[in-house]
Structure 1
Amino acid sequence: MSGTTVVAPERPGQPPAPTAAQSRFRPELQGVRALASLLVVVYHVWLDRISGGVDVFFLVSGFLITGQLYRALLRGKIELRPMWGRMIKRLFPAAMTVLLTVVVVSTLLLPADRWFQTIREVFASALFYENWQLAADSVDYFAQHNSASLVQHFWSLSIQGQFYLLWPLIFVALGFLVRRLGLSLRHTVNTLLITLFVASLAYSVYLTAVDQPLAYFHGLTRVWEFALGGLMVMFLDAFTLPRSLRVVLGWIGVAGLVLCGIVLRVDSVFPGWIALWPTLSAGLVLVAGQTNTVFGADRWLSSKPLGYLGNLSFSLYLWHWPVLVFYLVVRDRAAVGLLGGAVVIGASFVLSILTYHFIENPIRLSKIGTVKRWGAYRFGILALAPVLIAAGVWGTYTSAQANYTISLADADHPGAAAHAPGFVYRGSAEPSIVPPTLKLPEDWAGIPDDKCTMSPRNEELKVCTQNPDGPPKKRVVLVGDSHMQQYLAAFLPMVQTEGWAVTSMLKGACPFSSNADLMPGDQACMDWNKAAADEIVAMRPDAVVTLASVNTHAGVPETTPAGFVNQWSVMDKAGIPVVALRDNPRFAFSMAACVAQQGPANPACVLDRDAVQPAAPSYTDTRGVPGNVSFLDFTDYFCDKETCPPVVGNVLVYMDDNHLTATFLTTLAPIADKQVKAALKW
């Protein structure tokens, strides 16, 4: 890039000759890959942060693939079959090896309550839609409590796989238009890339502002990074910079890559406009190019050690995360520490080297796909099949083991009834504890979607109603956040026992209030609550059931926010009775995990009642409570007089650190039935 490049003028419909930047090997790219992968690993393992290295992968992929496609159009035709075949040979060997290993090792080391999540995400990763799976989980409040999965890092590979599939199709269509309309290929490609860059970046900035977790995994918020790589390959040779300036730019780019994750909390601000930092940093390295001087960053990036690390970068990225998660699980730790991190990184390197030399590279260099036209595709199916079969068998076993439904006639598992006055246990001497650990992630109550409608008052207000067989005797609405959803397990049985119609209006982290009490400033929550109140007033139910208080975090005093009272007053003016339930305790750890690891009687899992739930509810001192409100407190069924145990009546009370299991609340149904009717004088 030290000289001036002359590009012959194009005639309409005639492509120009390829320029040097579009056709020559860029050895510094291997160094960029190596640096990006190393930053990803170090930041994940030791710093518990995100580096921005994945964004660099996207830019480099856009740079390389766009260059290949453009050169193919210059030659006259894009060969899709061999291009996708090479992609399969490049991605599948290492990816499927890691996924199959994760399935096998997880059955031996991973806690059973994480099996469902892992199985679901292995399927998503193997079929290259893990980013969309995580995007769906990011907007599903009840999935947000999932632990870090062993394969969640496959989200970026999924986006790359989708890019490798769609980008060539876009260029095929573009080539057709160029030939058909007699357009300039270069100008048309540039127009397309600029349009995609601007549109995707604008959408990324918007979605990051309104829903950052969703934006992080959304494929459309990342298109601009690939497009930016494409623009660089199209424009790099359009100008020439002095060597001294390129030396400086190269080192600025390297420094930007290293410092990005330190200066920014990437996990909370990406991928909006701030993701320009790592991508433009990598772009500066590409602009610097080959400086042919010992002072250039390219000299270091093109070195043999970094070149070799660049070869390992794909396998290293795939291995480091499951190795890290398995280490934390086996060691029962939240962080690895300096020495533990060294062990994780060392093990990841060993696995990467073995994978590269004995699986990835031999298959990539083999004659698969060259002797037979569809050989690479047959190989892809053969590589994918063991992963899907293994995950399918594991999933079938897990579903069978988790197939448990509580029965109120089950003497072994009285649950909440065990704390009722005068209770006498009549079950077996050595009962099991239910629900099975495998079932915990799915142990939620809910009304089927086919009984739900979306309210026109708010795009997020989902109104679901379970009706009895005949005309309902009463209509009851449960409204609020996940701590109200859990109580559906106690109220849905009343549909049959009492003939009530039970309606739910639920939004995660958004209790029924005139304010956003759990997430201050959450306008979407406040808008939803206003719409929910209007919907309820229009429905005129016989009663509304909602929270009376909130326990926001372990150790934080219980409160009854003024916004709760405001909503109760709205109901009062409409003549609608309110049953307000005291919130259950929250803990600093998962009670279910403690039971699985330590046993239900271990003192570490049994907490003093006074420490987690004060004797006097917060609403006893709340002013302005309207006369339509009746308070119910079920704490005596979660806790005994002195402690709050994780298991009551041989039933797990908690599924995590703050949510009650549907199984336990089902055993509370007869008790709740009596107390609700008494409170409402029904």
Structure 2
Amino acid sequence: MTAMRPDPVEPTSGPVPHVASTASTADTERARRFRPELQGLRALAVVLVVAYHVWFGRVSGGVDVFFVISGFLITGQLFRSAARGKLRFRPMWARQAARLLPAAFTVLLACAVAGALLLPEARWQQTLHELFASAVFLENWQLAADSVDYAAQHNTQSVVQHFWSLSIQVQFYIVWPLLIALVALVAGQARERLRAHLLLTLSGLFAASLTFSVALTITNQPLAYFHSLTRVWEFALGGLLALTIDAIALPRRWRIALGWIGVVGLVACGALLRVDAVFPGVAALWPTGAACLVLIAGMTGSRIGADRILASRPVKYLGDLSYALYLWHWPVLIFFLVVRNQETVGVRGGLAIIAVSVALAVLTHHVVEEPIRRGPLTDRARWRGAAAGLALVLLAGGVWQFEAAQRANETATVGDSRHPGAMAVHAGAIDDVDPSVELIPPMVSAPDDFYRFPGWACAPMTHYPTSEACTMPLPDPAVPPAKRIVVVGDSHSQQYSAALAPVAQRNNWELVDMLKGACPFSTASEVDPANQDCVNWNAAVVDEIADLHPDAVFTLASRDVRAGLTEVTPPGFVAAWQRMNELGIPVIAVRDNPRFDPSFSPPDCLQQRGRGAPECGQPRADVYGPIPPYQVAPDVPPNVTFLDFSDHLCNAALCPAEIGNVLVYMDFNHVSATYMTSLAPVVEERLHQTLGW
């Protein structure tokens, strides 16, 4: 399934005060009591969100629209309360809790139960982390942390990932009243003075947040997408509109035009922009501006106005369902893809997903949301209900976590007769392995089965202090190391540390890792040509290695080992080796392992299709050519020794997902630490043969 980020939706809140100017005083007074077109705007946004997610694998820009609506509504409400001197936090937060939490906790509880029953075990731990983060409305920060953790950047989409947006909204609902109260304390209750102070404050927040959003989107867009502070300007924009909209007096024909421009702009946004790749920077002004135009247009009363459709009874009802529909559609979509073992949905599958989501939304709205929101509950009862809902979600997650931990502890020792891993290939006994023996690592542990330097000493690099060099402890610190090897490059170099570590321990070698995600050792930025930071890091690593002057450097010899691509040895690799040659340092360059499509998970495939399923691997001819590219690369210096373990990752026809009862891959492109550990004797033998150590 194409990577995408779910859009959020603002929950319905019943009658909405209207503060826009209309053609007459009477019309204005009526409009101030209710804004039916705003519910229609919610309905339109949620329809776009669902359709774009289900059929197009894209996001629609609805996240930004709903953040503007949130800022518009709550700022207007808080301003009026503060001006009357009746700004009370606890009742207000209790009402918000009654609106937001029942449906949210219902969906989270359902996701916990269904996830334990339907999701492949390899997806359990990630889903559990996000489930707990979503339950306390910190999911956006969980995803932000994953976005800067290279090992987590290839996580599959979880069934609760869409709670990132609701998390930001809840954080906003907590902080915004405190901000308004602080401004009111300074400005006093004089209405126009309070308005002026709020306009100044929100304008400053708008400018600061938008500037930060644009800057962070340029330098680290995935982090910017989930960062709370990059979204403040969208809430502030809605607040600014709430404070000024009653001063906007436009002719009716202009408002009709603005309404349609806003609607068309919102529909076109997701189709014309890659929202998930360029937001929330300056491009997010498109959907937020479209939302503002619809709000400014208000109720025109015209037969040809967009508000006639937005305010119609069916559309308004869909707006009432929008919050629950948003909460349900994403997990229904993900569970459908998992159960059907598909990456995309067709027309009929999409209609089925939407139908189930709407049915669940109707049930949730009438059975859960409305009785609690409209029932005669005290604030204390509402808080107790919220605590009970949270407890149920955490309890369900805790039971699931306990089961995951139990399965993760069901481990065996790699390298024994039951789990030979790579040694089954090396000994020519791969057909003698009993396929009924359980795989290691356990499926539930597979996504975390990556070598991360346990007990190593890590310290900032001298020439690049924001990056660390990690050194494995010597068996006997009193005995100088016999050899020193520096492992340098990206995660595909790092994974070989699992094979090199036991070799270094046995031979009293010092192992030092200098690594940066998506930055293989080269004079160029191979993964992203525009990433100058990668070039700078590699230049600093050369200086670092020159200072250390190890006995050898271990790095990659090739890349692009994937179906549809041609394995290459980039000129930048060769240039980096030449620099090592100038320093008199040998290079050990290893051929890269096969990679699968990013949407494919070998562990999931094995669990869904069964052990030994050939479709969980890939044909060797699709990824490896008969001659490694480095053998024909020009200007390869004499200091380079090449190692090729492709025969231990593939047989003559297939690169399988399991070998010797060991899971080969932890995700779509990294070899598991367990399998790499089983490769250690082969690595040791090759190093002794080729280097004479």
Counterpart-to-counterpart distance in 1, 2:210 and 2:67: 14
Structure 2 contact 415–678 (Cα < 8 Å) conserved: no
Matched, 1:395 2:401: yes
CA separation of 1:77/1:498 partners in 2, compared to 1, >3 Å: closer, same or farther? farther
CA separation of 1:582/1:259 partners in 2, compared to 1, >3 Å: closer, same or farther? same
CA deviations 1:537-593 (Å, max 9, x no partner) are 222222211001112532312111111111112222222221111111223443333
Counterpart-to-counterpart distance in 1, 2:249 and 2:430: 88
* Stretch of structure 1 that moved more, 583-592 or 58-67: 583-592
Structure 1 contact 465–501 (Cα < 8 Å) conserved: yes
Q: 2:632 aligns with which of 610, 621, 627?
A: 621
Counterpart-to-counterpart distance in 1, 2:352 and 2:111: 18
Aligned to 2:296: 287
CA separation of 1:406/1:453 partners in 2, compared to 1, >3 Å: closer, same or farther? farther
Q: 2:603 aligns with which of 579, 584, 592?
A: 592
Counterpart-to-counterpart distance in 2, 1:41 and 1:362: 26
Task: Provide the TM-score with structure 2 as the length reference.
Answer: 0.92
Matched, 1:415 2:435: no
CA deviations 1:82-107 (Å, max 9, x no partner) are 11111111111000000100111111
- SS of equivalent to 1:28: helix
Matched, 1:537 2:546: yes
Aligned to 2:265: 256
Structure 1 contact 560–618 (Cα < 8 Å) conserved: yes
Amino acid at match of 1:263: L
Amino acid at match of 1:236: I
Equivalent positions of 1:171-186 (< 5 A) are: 171-179=180-188, 184-186=193-195
Structure 1 contact 113–437 (Cα < 8 Å) conserved: yes
Structure 1 contact 444–661 (Cα < 8 Å) conserved: yes
Matched, 1:244 2:253: yes
Matched, 1:359 2:368: yes
Deviation for aligned residue 1:310: 1.1
Matched, 1:644 2:664: no
Amino acid at match of 2:211: A
Structure 1 contact 21–237 (Cα < 8 Å) conserved: no
Counterpart-to-counterpart distance in 2, 1:181 and 1:464: 61
Deviation for aligned residue 1:272: 1.0
Deviation for aligned residue 1:675: 1.8
Matched, 1:59 2:68: yes
Counterpart-to-counterpart distance in 1, 2:662 and 2:668: 16
Counterpart-to-counterpart distance in 1, 2:116 and 2:72: 40
Matched, 1:310 2:319: yes
Equivalent positions of 1:179-194 (< 5 A) are: 179=188, 184-194=193-203
Stretches of structure 1 lacking an aligned partner (at least 5 in a row): 6-18
Matched, 1:196 2:202: no
Aligned to 1:378: 384
Equivalent positions of 1:276-355 (< 5 A) are: 276-355=285-364
Amino acid at match of 2:669: N
Equivalent positions of 1:348-497 (< 5 A) are: 348-370=357-379, 374-403=380-409, 407-408=413-414, 410-421=416-427, 430-448=436-454, 451-455=457-461, 457-458=463-464, 460-471=466-477, 472-497=481-506
Amino acid at match of 1:147: T
CA deviations 1:318-361 (Å, max 9, x no partner) are 00000111111111111111111111111100000000000011
* Stretch of structure 1 that moved more, 69-78 or 384-393: 69-78
Deviation for aligned residue 1:440: 0.9
CA separation of 1:450/1:245 partners in 2, compared to 1, >3 Å: closer, same or farther? farther
How many equivalent pairs are there?
A: 666
Structure 1 contact 22–71 (Cα < 8 Å) conserved: no
Deviation for aligned residue 1:641: 3.7
Counterpart-to-counterpart distance in 2, 1:423 and 1:223: 61
Aligned to 1:11: none
Deviation for aligned residue 1:600: 3.5
Counterpart-to-counterpart distance in 1, 2:270 and 2:668: 30
Counterpart-to-counterpart distance in 1, 2:168 and 2:423: 50
Counterpart-to-counterpart distance in 2, 1:354 and 1:457: 60
Aligned to 2:16: none
Matched, 1:36 2:45: yes
Aligned to 1:525: 534
Structure 2 contact 82–189 (Cα < 8 Å) conserved: no
Counterpart-to-counterpart distance in 1, 2:264 and 2:564: 42
Aligned to 2:13: none
Counterpart-to-counterpart distance in 1, 2:564 and 2:242: 55
Amino acid at match of 2:451: A
Amino acid at match of 2:616: C
Amino acid at match of 2:572: G
Equivalent positions of 1:42-53 (< 5 A) are: 42-53=51-62
Counterpart-to-counterpart distance in 1, 2:297 and 2:81: 26
Counterpart-to-counterpart distance in 2, 1:424 and 1:377: 60
Deviation for aligned residue 1:647: 1.9
Counterpart-to-counterpart distance in 1, 2:171 and 2:402: 28
* Stretch of structure 1 that moved more, 208-217 or 437-446: 208-217
Deviation for aligned residue 1:512: 0.7
Matched, 1:658 2:686: no
Aligned to 1:118: 127
* Stretch of structure 1 that moved more, 457-466 or 305-314: 457-466
* Stretch of structure 1 that moved more, 536-545 or 510-519: 536-545
Aligned to 2:118: 109
Counterpart-to-counterpart distance in 2, 1:578 and 1:226: 54
Matched, 1:630 2:641: yes
TM-align CA RMSD: 2.3
CA separation of 1:629/1:226 partners in 2, compared to 1, >3 Å: closer, same or farther? same
Deviation for aligned residue 1:681: 2.3
Structure 1 contact 580–629 (Cα < 8 Å) conserved: yes
Matched, 1:609 2:615: no
* Stretch of structure 1 that moved more, 453-462 or 196-205: 453-462
- SS of equivalent to 2:140: helix
Amino acid at match of 1:242: P
Deviation for aligned residue 1:409: 5.3
Counterpart-to-counterpart distance in 2, 1:336 and 1:408: 39
Aligned to 1:163: 172
Q: 2:137 aligns with which of 92, 116, 128?
A: 128
Counterpart-to-counterpart distance in 2, 1:603 and 1:179: 72
Counterpart-to-counterpart distance in 1, 2:263 and 2:431: 69
Structure 1 contact 216–271 (Cα < 8 Å) conserved: yes
CA deviations 1:485-523 (Å, max 9, x no partner) are 211211122343222222222222221111111222221
Deviation for aligned residue 1:180: 11
Aligned to 1:8: none
Counterpart-to-counterpart distance in 2, 1:367 and 1:452: 59
Structure 1 contact 20–237 (Cα < 8 Å) conserved: no
- SS of equivalent to 1:470: coil
Aligned to 2:22: 2
- SS of equivalent to 2:679: helix
Aligned to 1:16: none
Counterpart-to-counterpart distance in 2, 1:598 and 1:144: 25
Task: Provide the TM-score with structure 1 as the length reference.
Answer: 0.93
Structure 1 contact 37–313 (Cα < 8 Å) conserved: yes
Structure 1 contact 600–646 (Cα < 8 Å) conserved: no
* Stretch of structure 1 that moved more, 589-598 or 36-45: 589-598
Aligned to 1:565: 574
Counterpart-to-counterpart distance in 2, 1:422 and 1:361: 67
CA separation of 1:21/1:221 partners in 2, compared to 1, >3 Å: closer, same or farther? farther
Amino acid at match of 2:644: D
Structure 1 contact 21–233 (Cα < 8 Å) conserved: no
